[in-house]
């Protein structure tokens, strides 16, 4: 009925006062809630939405492919704790964005995918509309929540629901379906304004129970070989000061997961990053702060974790269902990390026993041994470069520019950079996350530059870069301070594989030899540089970061240097049955 009334009004078009429409209401609803940036790709039926948003002063970043726009939105969510918005066209554009939405949900990044959709009446009868697809049904299993808005007067509440769903509790991806007809629906402007909703306290604090806090502290106090693991939930929470206080007050060694690096500097005396295997294997009580016991932590069991059942776990997480997901958790502390960590610090009281020195000394010795081993590999000025010598140069770049943002993906390029490049500040390292997805690089780099204004260094395997490389045009178009370094070893894992069938086709994992990725960015007016030594690489990156000009550096890496699947080769099953051809 309401819908009919609105249409009635629009067709009779009485000059009875100011009117608004679906387009404007969506924009006003986002802006009212402090969302001022949209990442997307224009097209039917949302072209005008982007235009009007730009006209209203929003930042609208147009990409070349929705997946990259989606990754950008998701990492904007991680960096700002506000849902990043990705805007796409119907069916195929929606599906392209959906990968990023699912990835956001998996990584607990708040994001809203807004897609235009075709006529409901035709879609539901499957009569073959333009880009026909029941997008809401497709999105549902892949995100935290999915909503469709059919009436202009519901846009305010629909956007409010999407925002709250994305950021409250465990953050995640939300899908918002906007049929073409909704966007052009007209209604009275004053009624429209009144229908908008400013979300109050979108991510309410969740205070842990005092008994849970006490249980956790009792375990921690009694530990002989305690360890704290920081995950990207801890980075997301922006509770940096409280986390530092907890760690320094307890004196317990900490291990940062990849995107948690820098909450405390990797060079902090309590950082056990360089003794990872030792602390995982030998610790007795482990406190997880915003880190899941998923595959990245070997599910909390197996060889990595030493003797079976040798661990007692404490877990701080906002999601109660995460507790006991892989192994039993002796002391769950459910709540938001800021509140939980502060409650722990408060309940610790004035004095806290330092962890036994045989434990901290053993870690220190192991760290020193591993750091010395690594140093010699980093110093080698090998030509062609291997991963270590190239990463040694980039390690110095971040040391000298700790506020720059490092984006990182690839196989060897990822695994080795994670260990080699120390981070000094929170939320400066953005990478493939929970899925290990390839192709996040350019989307993450663009959003990082847009959201923070800081220079971005994107360290990309040549394969990973291929998934998103066209976005260097976007980087140039918006003149963003992004320096992309492609570690070019001629292929996936390495460039030396040959066709096992002996035919003229290249091996499945090999790329064009000696490709010049630097020339891609030159097509769009950016700076391309070709380097073969660590010194050249360091100089080129410094120049790029100082000038803030869009730059792509083709860094030649020894094609024989990589290993299969980097550090996770064991996940890549190998055939035991190979027939001679
Ligand atoms: P990592 O991969 O770095 O180990 P994960 O993504 O596995 O990190 O884990 C992040 C965890 O943090 C998730 O279980 C998520 O529920 C939790 N989390 C995210 N944000 C918060 C928050 N603000 N407070 C508490 N827990 C959070
Ligand atoms: Mg490669």
- For the CA atoms of 438, 439, 445, 451, the dihedral, rounded to the nearest 10 degrees, stands at -100
CATH superfamily of the domain spanning 4-195 = Thiamin diphosphate (ThDP)-binding fold, Pyr/PP domains (3.40.50.970)
* Beta bridge pairs of residue 229: 255, 288
User: Nearest-5° angle of CA 347, CA 167, CA 33?
Assistant: 120
- Point out the ligand 1 atom lying closest to the alpha carbon of residue 206: 24
The pLDDT of residue 14 is 52
Taking the C-alpha atoms of residue 256 and residue 239, their distance in angstroms, rounded to an integer, is: 15
Class of domain 380-570 as given by CATH: alpha beta
Quick check: CB of 232 below 6 Å from ligand 1? yes
Domain ranges of the chain: 4-195, 210-364, 380-570
Residue 100, φ and ψ in degrees, nearest 5: -70, -35
Taking the C-alpha atoms of residue 339 and residue 359, their distance in angstroms, rounded to an integer, is: 29
The pLDDT of residue 566 is 81
Taking the C-alpha atoms of residue 91 and residue 131, their distance in angstroms, rounded to an integer, is: 5
The pLDDT of residue 350 is 87
Taking the C-alpha atoms of residue 25 and residue 406, their distance in angstroms, rounded to an integer, is: 37
Quick check: CB of 294 below 6 Å from ligand 1? yes
Token reading at 562: 């990589």
Quick check: CB of 139 below 6 Å from ligand 1? no
Nearest residue (by CA) to ligand 1, atom 19, is 233
Give the fold, CATH level 3, of 210-364.
Rossmann fold (3.40.50)
Quick check: CB of 318 below 6 Å from ligand 1? yes
Q: What is the DSSP letter of 198?
A: P
Residue 458, φ and ψ in degrees, nearest 5: -105, 115
**Is 4-195's fold the same as 380-570's?**
yes
CA-closest candidate to residue 495, choices 418, 429, 561:
561
Taking a 5 Å cut-off on Cβ, the residues next to ion ligand 2 are: 461-462, 489
Distance 6 CA to ligand 1 centre (A): 44
Instruction: Walk along the chain (581 residues) in steps of 10 and give the mean pLDDT of each run.
Output: 44 70 98 98 98 98 98 99 98 98 98 97 95 97 98 98 98 98 98 98 98 98 98 98 98 98 98 98 98 97 95 98 98 98 96 96 98 90 90 97 98 95 98 97 99 98 98 99 97 91 95 97 98 97 98 96 82 77 45
* Beta bridge pairs of residue 21: 186
pLDDT in tens, 247-296: 999 999 999 999 999 999 999 999 999 999 999 999 999 999 999 999 99
Q: What is the DSSP string of 398-440?
A: HHH-TTSEEEEESSHHHHHHHHHS---STT-EEE-GGGT-SS-
Taking the C-alpha atoms of residue 519 and residue 431, their distance in angstroms, rounded to an integer, is: 25
Residue the block writes with tokens 């002989």:
224
Nearest residue (by CA) to ligand 1, atom 1, is 231
pLDDT in tens, 331-361: 999 999 999 999 999 999 989 999 999 999 9
Token reading at 262: 């820098």
Question: Could you tell which of 82, 110, 111, 170 is best to mutate to test the pocket of ligand 1, judged by most ligand atoms within 8 Å of the CB?
Answer: 170
């Amino acid at each position: 009925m309401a819908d009919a009334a609105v249409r009635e009004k629009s067709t009779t078009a009485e000059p009875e006062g100011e009117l608004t429409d679906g387009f404007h209401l969506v924009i006003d609803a986002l802006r009212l809630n402090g969302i001022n940036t949209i990442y997307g790709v224009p097209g039917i039926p949302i072209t005008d939405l982007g235009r009007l948003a730009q006209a209203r002063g929003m930042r609208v970043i147009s990409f070349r492919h929705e997946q990259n726009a989606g990754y950008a939105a998701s990492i904007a969510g991680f960096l700002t704790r506000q849902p990043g918005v990705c805007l796409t066209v119907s069916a195929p554009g929606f599906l392209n964005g959906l990968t990023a939405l699912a990835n956001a949900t998996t990584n607990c990044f708040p994001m809203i995918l807004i897609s235009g959709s075709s006529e409901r009446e035709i879609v539901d009868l499957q009569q073959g509309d333009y880009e026909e697809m029941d997008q809401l049904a497709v999105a549902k299993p892949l995100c935290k929540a999915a909503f469709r808005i059919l009436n202009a007067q519901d846009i305010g509440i629909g956007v409010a629901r999407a925002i709250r769903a994305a950021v409250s509790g465990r953050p995640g991806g939300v899908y918002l379906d906007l049929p073409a007809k909704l966007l052009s629906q007209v209604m009275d402007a004053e009624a429209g304004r009144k229908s908008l909703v400013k979300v109050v306290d979108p991510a309410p604090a969740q205070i842990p129970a005092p008994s849970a806090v006490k249980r956790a502290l009792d375990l921690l106090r009694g530990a002989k070989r305690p360890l704290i693991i920081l995950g990207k939930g801890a980075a997301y929470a922006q509770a940096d000061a409280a986390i530092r206080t907890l760690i320094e007050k307890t004196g317990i060694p900490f291990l940062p997961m990849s995107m948690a690096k820098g909450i405390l500097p990797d060079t902090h005396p309590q950082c056990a990053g360089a003794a990872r295997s030792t602390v995982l294997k030998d610790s007795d009580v482990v406190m997880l702060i915003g880190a899941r016991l998923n595959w990245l932590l070997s599910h909390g069991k197996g060889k990595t974790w030493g003797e079976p059942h040798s661990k007692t776990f404490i877990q701080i997480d906002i999601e109660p269902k995460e507790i006991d997901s892989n192994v039993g958790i002796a002391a769950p502390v459910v709540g938001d990390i800021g509140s939980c960590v502060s409650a722990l610090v408060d309940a610790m009281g004035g004095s806290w026993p330092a962890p036994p020195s045989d434990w901290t000394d053993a870690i220190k010795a192991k760290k020193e041994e591993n750091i010395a081993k690594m140093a010699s590999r980093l110093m080698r000025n090998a030509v062609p470069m291997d991963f270590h010598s190239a990463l040694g140069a980039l390690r110095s770049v971040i040391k000298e520019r700790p506020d720059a943002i490092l984006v990182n993906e690839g196989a060897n390029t990822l695994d080795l950079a994670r260990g080699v490049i120390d981070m000094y500040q929170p939320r400066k390292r953005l990478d493939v996350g929970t899925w290990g997805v390839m192709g996040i690089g350019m989307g993450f780099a663009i959003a990082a530059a847009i959201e923070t204004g800081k220079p971005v260094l994107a360290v990309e395997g040549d394969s990973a870069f291929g998934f998103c490389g066209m976005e260097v045009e976007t980087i140039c178009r918006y003149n963003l301070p992004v320096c992309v370094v492609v570690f070019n070893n001629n292929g996936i894992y390495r460039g030396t594989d040959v066709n096992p069938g002996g035919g003229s086709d290249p091996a499945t994992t090999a790329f064009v030899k000696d490709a010049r990725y630097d020339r891609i960015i030159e097509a769009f007016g950016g700076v391309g540089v070709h380097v073969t030594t660590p010194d050249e690489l360091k100089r080129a990156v410094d120049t790029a970061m100082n000038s803030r000009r869009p730059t792509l550096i083709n860094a030649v890496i020894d094609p024989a240097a990589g290993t299969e699947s980097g550090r996770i080769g064991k996940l890549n099953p190998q055939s035991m049955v190979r027939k001679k051809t």
